[in-house]
Amino acid sequence: MATSQKANITKATTSNFWTKTIYIFKLFGPLVRVLRLVDDRAKEIIIKSFGENEDKYKKVFEIIDKRWESQLHHILHAAGHYLNLEFFYSNSYLSEDLEVMNGLYQVMQRLLRTRDEQQKVMNQLLCME
């Protein structure tokens, strides 16, 4: 057996390796499951998986929040959220969410050339409510 293989086996059999592995599964397991379900409760589940010990997840939450604000938080996501029928019909207050509605209006202004086109789309959206 090669020296590098022995080193890998030694790493895999140490308790430190398994402690880190369990940490990763506790952190990312719930996140992946929730993201697959398009659920917005990922943080809540992560908090519970670490027994509400903020030291275990605080840095990861900062990374998630920073990425959300800089890359994922976009008017297109807001418009998509409004136009997703699952969210539209399960949340009767969606049309009162300023962030979602502003995103929808901004996307409409970019995609629809005239005020007339924008008004027609708005009338159709109002018929859905």
**10-residue averages of pLDDT along the chain (129 residues):** 71 73 77 61 84 91 79 78 82 83 90 89 82
Verdict on whether the full-model pTM lies above 0.75: no
CB atoms within 10 A of CB 82: 20
pLDDT score recorded for residue 40: 59
How far from 96 is each of 23, 42, 51, 82, 122, CA to CA, in Å? Answer: 39, 24, 34, 11, 15
Distances (CA, A) of 7 to 1, 2, 16, 19, 24: 10, 9, 14, 18, 21
Q: Is 69 helix (H, G, I), strand (E, B) or coil?
A: helix
- pLDDT at residue number 58: 92
Looking at residue 54, its pLDDT comes to 93
Distances, alpha carbon 33 to alpha carbons 8, 15, 59, 82, 96, in Å: 29, 26, 20, 23, 29
What pLDDT was estimated at residue 7? 74
Q: What are phi and psi of 31, to 5 degrees?
A: -60, -45
Collapsed DSSP state (helix, strand, coil) of residue 97: coil
Query: What's the confidence (pLDDT) of residue 53?
Result: 93
Cα 70 to the center of its chain, rounded Å: 13
Could you give the 3-state DSSP secondary structure of residue 38?
Answer: coil
Model pLDDT, residue 128: 75
